């Protein structure tokens, strides 16, 4: 029997942490060594996550305590701005687990691998510090990447997310009563995912995010200006070739619906619509922000880091 790979999780109470716990609990190789949550310190994990059948309890571990756990892999599922202390503690004690950071803190750091496997797995070998892409950023890049070499002018992206994307800390953006029958725009210029995608694609992207009343799932509509005229068949062929053999990316003729992607681990890209002159293309992508937008992608990156099949433990 293959040896188990120990994994620690910091930030276990949030929506993404809960999804990752469920995935790891069913994984044939990874085993939870600790789950850290300030609010649930001392409580049984199984009382909150029935998918986990063991006796593990939540702990409240600071950076130094986490660095001393000796785990093979560490996932930081923390709000933006909180990862650095844990990374510094690991460096201080010369601990070298594989680290996957789910925040934006290291997405602009060239010393970290940017882990969007469908686009960056060729550079993943040997990576031990991995920055997980943003949920919107994943949807944007997968919608745009097959046409990257044909772009002319900035890409405009209109995004709508379920309110789980705003996390568990109460705010207007995750208040179901305020969102009822509503669509809430926010951060309409300079959003961090706008900068992230512009950097990764090497092409300017303009992003306008909104929050909707549904709980989970992203719909991303990308408006691409093209350097030459394309036919629809030519565009669809590009996407089908780009994502051939990708188990977590489905290319569809029709525009995908967010209700069909909720609770699923992949991405749907489709709805290819060209202007009459063939020089403007609109593409729609959908994904579950908590899964392919976060936890599922983290597990892809962990599998790659340990030389396991990329989709091990991921229902496809």
Say whether domain 5-133+293-305 belongs to CATH 3.40.50.720: yes
Distance CA 274, CA 200 (A): 25
Query: Among this protein's residues, is 157 annotated catalytic?
Result: no
Distance CA 204, CA 120 (A): 19
3-state secondary structure of 99: strand
- Cβ distance 186 to 209 under 8 Å? yes
Fold of domain 135-289 = Dihydrodipicolinate Reductase; domain 2 (3.30.360)
Provide the Cα torsion 5, 6, 11, 16; round to 10°: 20
Active-site residue identified among 135, 145, 179, 205:
135
Do the bridges between strand 218-225 and strand 155-161 make them parallel or antiparallel, or are there none, so unpaired? antiparallel
Provide the Cα torsion 262, 263, 266, 270; round to 10°: -20
Q: Where are the domains of the chain?
A: 5-133+293-305, 135-289
> What's the burial of 74, exposed, middle or buried (CB within 10 Å: 0-12/13-18/19+)?
buried
Helix (H) or strand (E) holding 239: helix 232-242
**Is 0.85 topped by the overall pTM?**
yes
- Cβ distance 95 to 28 under 8 Å? no
Per-residue pLDDT of the chain (316 residues), as tens digits, is 679 999 999 987 789 999 999 999 999 999 999 999 998 999 999 999 988 988 999 999 999 999 999 999 999 999 999 999 999 999 999 999 999 999 999 999 999 999 999 999 999 989 999 999 999 999 999 999 999 999 999 999 999 999 886 665 666 667 777 778 888 898 899 999 999 999 999 999 999 999 998 989 999 999 999 999 999 999 999 999 999 999 999 999 999 999 999 999 999 999 999 999 999 999 999 999 999 999 999 999 999 999 999 999 999 8
- Cβ distance 62 to 10 under 8 Å? no
Place of tokens 């809430």: 184
Distance CA 115, CA 80 (A): 17
DSSP state of 123: G
């Amino acid at each position: 029997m293959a040896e188990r790979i120990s994994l620690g999780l910091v930030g276990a109470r949030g929506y993404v942490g809960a999804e990752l716990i469920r995935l790891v609990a069913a994984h044939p190789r990874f085993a939870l060594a600790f789950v850290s949550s300030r609010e649930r310190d001392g409580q049984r994990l199984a009382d909150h996550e029935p998918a986990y059948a063991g006796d593990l309890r939540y702990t409240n571990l600071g950076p130094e305590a986490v660095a001393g756990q000796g785990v093979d892999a560490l996932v930081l599922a923390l709000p933006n701005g909180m990862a650095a202390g844990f990374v510094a503690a690991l460096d201080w004690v010369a601990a070298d687990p594989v680290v996957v950071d789910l925040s934006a803190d290291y997405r602009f750091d060239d010393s970290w691998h940017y882990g969007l496997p469908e686009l960056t797995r060729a550079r993943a070998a040997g990576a031990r510090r991995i920055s997980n892409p943003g949920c919107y950023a994943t949807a944007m890049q997968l919608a745009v990447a097959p046409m990257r070499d044909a772009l002319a002018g900035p890409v405009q992206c209109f995004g709508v997310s379920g309110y789980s994307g705003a996390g568990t800390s109460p705010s207007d953006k995750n208040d179901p009563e305020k969102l009822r029958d509503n669509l809430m725009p926010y951060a309409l210029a300079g959003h961090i995912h706008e900068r992230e995608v512009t950097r990764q694609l090497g092409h300017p992207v303009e992003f306008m995010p909104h929050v909707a009343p549904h709980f989970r799932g992203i719909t991303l509509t990308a408006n691409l200006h093209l350097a030459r005229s394309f036919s629809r068949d030519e565009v669809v062929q590009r996407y089908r070739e780009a994502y051939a053999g990708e188990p977590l990316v489905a290319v569809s003729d029709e525009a995908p619906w967010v209700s069909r992607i909720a609770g699923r681990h992949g991405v749907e890209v489709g709805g290819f619509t060209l202007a009459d002159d063939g020089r403007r293309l609109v593409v729609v992508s959908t994904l579950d922000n908590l899964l392919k937008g976060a936890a599922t992608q983290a597990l892809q990156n962990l599998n790659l880091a340990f030389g396991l099949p990329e989709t091990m433990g991921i229902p496809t």
